[in-house]
Chains A and B, each alone.
Chain A
Amino acid sequence: MAGTNALSDTPLLPEASTLAERVDTLFFTLTGLDALMVLVLSGLIIGFAVYYRRGARVNRTTNVPETKTEIIWSLGLLTIFLDIFVWAAHLYVEEASPPKNALEIHAIGKQWMWKFQHRNGQREINELHVPLGVPVKVVLATQDVIHSFFVPAFRSKQDLVPGRYRTVWFTPSRIGRYHLFCAEYCGLDHSRMRGQVIVMEPAEYEAWLAGESGAESLPAQGEKLFSSLGCIICHGAGSKVAAPSLTGIFGKPVPLTGGQTVVADETYIRDSILTPEKQVVAGYEPIMPSFRGRVDESDLTKLIAYIKSLSREDARP
């Protein structure tokens, strides 16, 4: 923790992700245009008001074609606006599409703290360690109300919505400690739901990750839950109960009773555990009990990590 306290010795708002610089370029271009517009308009208004003040001996003959003038400046504005729109939308879509190889970290927000779990099971509270130069994808879940994951130095923000998983991703580009804020009002201590993101050299990050021993990886913890909760009785290999196999389903389309198809993503698996009757796989009876109340957000994270691992290593049951 020593030596890198960038909260005090960096500029007020550093550009600490690869995206930050690009958002800033757009922001300052817009601000520059705004300033120019304000100067021109106030110049015109003050200029006209003073020059044509009552009693001034000036020529007031006018013959401006009004509609034509209006059309010209509407089209001018429209052109500028469309350019800005395209530029911003391009960046926004990119911001919403994490690269496939991104390092995945799980975040759970609750009134009024942040919990993070790394893939190897390492946990931390109100601090998030991430490696420099590596794309990081944070999967966001909330245990109670809506929160918002906001790291100003990364120019990243994403709301945590109850009942869903949301993701935010960034590639840290500057070593240091940066503010993590909750940006969506979440009750009494909203303004104290703050943390720090600590960007480290990748090697240092690996060392930190391995540092606190005893932790099991997320999929391993999930596998234990899978047994202890009894999931394995129906969903395990060779089970006699008619339940769909979970091997390789993650990320794949699943046909449902009723004819629709859904992609088995984090939210689908979560729903299947908590409200199994909502989306039943075609060809199966709706016999699965709900696990609501028996699993909390971090258990869900572990179970999902385990089911995901089944997709990657086809040898597992």
Chain B
Amino acid sequence: MTTVGISLRKHYLNHDYSFRSWLTTIDHKRIAWLYLVSITAFFFFGGAAATLIRLELATPAADVVETETYNRLFSLHGIAMVWFFLVPSIPATLGNFLIPLMIGARDVAFPRLNLLSWYLYVIGGSFTLAMAITGGVDTGWTFYTPFSSLFANGQVVLAVVGVIIVGFSSILTGLNFIVTVHKMRAPGLHWTRLPLFVWANYATAIIMVLATPVLAITLLLIALERIFGIGIFDPKVGGDPVLFQHLFWFYSHPAVYIMILPGMGVVSEIITCFARKHIFGYDGMAFALLAIALIGFLVWGHHLFVAGESIYAGVIFSLLSFMVAVPSGIKVFNWAATLYKGSVSFETPMLYALGFVGLFTIGGLTGITVAATAVDVHLHDTYFVIAHFHYIMVGGMVMAYFGGLHFWWPKMTGRMYPDVWGRIAAITIFIGFNLTFFPQFVLGYLGMPRRYHTYPDEFQLLNVLSSAGAPVLALGYLLPLFYLLYSLRWGPVAGPNPWEAKGLEWQTPSPPPEHNFDHLPVVTEEPYAYGLPKRDSDAARG
């Protein structure tokens, strides 16, 4: 009986089964599960909106939904996916679960704050659901003024309040991570020995803490403008609508890095494990994460090349955008170099990680294309931009999230899933994703603007291709829902370290005991010490 081995031992999942114990837990591992369930709900919610959008766009005319509905669908898709799935995705689930385990701590620094941040997420999410049920908004997720402040007639106030609240949830998570990483590392775990997953979440936490307050302020101003007409963004009383875009992107561009850095951390863990090799250029990898997080604060103006900022500002923001691409480039090269002379195997997490590298590369390179001012003038607000950021956020972050989920699933649940099904899902997602989004690059170059409910006939062929990819992608996302749930009951027992991975989280049983470690670990070696094959012991990194 495979179940006996797990159920005999007390661990964080079976010490108390009551509903109440879950809702009042301050165990970071259980909070990770609370998040996992909540963000999965929003993922399928946002995904359903996307499915309807792709269905509608299969023909040039409006036939599936009314224009009003279409505008509300893409707004809902953006709001749900950005703030209720992508931003919390890896940090709040895998980050919450793993950071204390990876640094050899019993919990995060502020366990109650951690629970509070989940409750804030739920309250923010409730506002968003209430907004959707009472009619939604048609502002897009970007809430551009003066449309959102003076013209839109949807539930704009409910929507921005929901986002402001969920913003506080990510501020608290970020704060918790920063203090945890600074203060709670196990003896011997120097900064230069931190796993890159921890570095990535640390860099992300800095952005969350510094940028998110600006989002709250900006959206609050929208609410005040709608309710009291204070006129910050209304030119009729001396306000400036473009100011909103500056403030919004001052948060939202760094937020793009919130939505990719943790993915980079996950992929570094997976690639080293399945290549049985230390990460190529550890220092450079950690430095690049911080560099992206910091330079990322200085590039927001590249969203405004044609929006009314001065051309000189445009030129400077373009230069800074090229600068932020350099550390991203280093990372991609280093992942490739990590495989060199490795001993590579291709289990499910590795397929996701390799898929991530490919798709992130395409997303990053097309980011260079839109950072080039004169080209962006043409491509701005077209499907080229849509394709570009979906390659980063879906091709990158969602692939990494699934990769991480498959990599640490045995640690979180103590069970293995059927690897064959895992690989089938990974490949299905990869194919479905490219089929859906690659045609959108071409559409964008040809001039199809984003947020178009109807479009000229000549764009139909490419739209049909894109829409045909959507069900394949959806199938790929649904598969794990089944086999991962199946594994909870019928999966073989995983044991503490099924991948023979390095890292402290693998030194404790799966699922981990309530307090993570029976004896707190002491770290004596470099990260990713995968002990190279015999002949190259002399080449181990110094």
For B326, what are the chain A residues with a Cβ–Cβ distance below 8 Å?
Answer: 74, 77-78, 81
For residue B370, which residue of chain A has the nearest CB? A30
A111-B532 Cα distance, complex, nearest whole Å: 65
Cβ contacts A19-37/B at 8 Å (1 or 0 each): 0001100110011011001
A75-B440 Cα distance, complex, nearest whole Å: 32
| Inter-chain contact A93/B311, CB cutoff 8 Å | yes
For residue A37, which residue of chain B has the nearest CB? B365
A162-B523 Cα distance, complex, nearest whole Å: 60
| A316 within 8 Å of B (CB atoms) | no
Main secondary structure of the interface of B (DSSP, over half): helix
| Inter-chain contact A66/B280, CB cutoff 8 Å | yes
Q: Given A61-B536, A77-B325, A88-B372, verify A44-B336 contact (CB < 8 Å).
A: yes
| Inter-chain contact A85/B336, CB cutoff 8 Å | no
| A228 within 8 Å of B (CB atoms) | no
Q: Given A45-B354, A60-B535, A190-B452, verify A84-B238 contact (CB < 8 Å).
A: no
- Among the listed A61, A64, A179, which residue makes an inter-chain contact with B535, where contact means beta carbons less than 8 Å apart? A61
For A156, what are the chain B residues with a Cβ–Cβ distance below 8 Å?
Answer: 377-378
A50-B350 Cα distance, complex, nearest whole Å: 13
For residue A27, which residue of chain B has the nearest CB? B375
| A91 within 8 Å of B (CB atoms) | yes
| Inter-chain contact A89/B308, CB cutoff 8 Å | no
| Inter-chain contact B375/A12, CB cutoff 8 Å | no
| B486 within 8 Å of A (CB atoms) | no
| Inter-chain contact B306/A163, CB cutoff 8 Å | no
Stretch from B21-29, B177-185, B315-323 forming part of the interface with A: B315-323
| A239 within 8 Å of B (CB atoms) | no
Cβ contacts A176-219/B at 8 Å (1 or 0 each): 00010111111111111010000000000000000000000000
For B455, what are the chain A residues with a Cβ–Cβ distance below 8 Å?
Answer: 191
| Inter-chain contact B532/A60, CB cutoff 8 Å | yes
For A54, what are the chain B residues with a Cβ–Cβ distance below 8 Å?
Answer: 276, 343-345
Chain B interface residues (CB < 8 Å from chain A): 67-68, 71, 138, 140, 144, 146-147, 150-152, 235-236, 238, 240-242, 275-276, 280-281, 283-284, 305-308, 311, 314-315, 318-319, 322-323, 325-326, 329-330, 332-337, 339-346, 354, 357-358, 361-362, 365-366, 368-369, 371-375, 377-378, 380-382, 445-447, 449-456, 458, 532-533, 535-536, 539, 541
Can you give 14 contacting A-B residue pairs, CB < 8 Å? A12-B458, A23-B374, A42-B361, A77-B329, A85-B322, A87-B372, A92-B305, A96-B311, A148-B306, A152-B378, A161-B241, A185-B450, A185-B451, A191-B67
> Told that A38-B362, A53-B346, A85-B318 touch, could you supply 10 new A-B pairs with CB distance under 8 A?
A23-B378, A66-B541, A85-B372, A88-B372, A92-B373, A95-B374, A156-B378, A159-B308, A163-B241, A181-B449
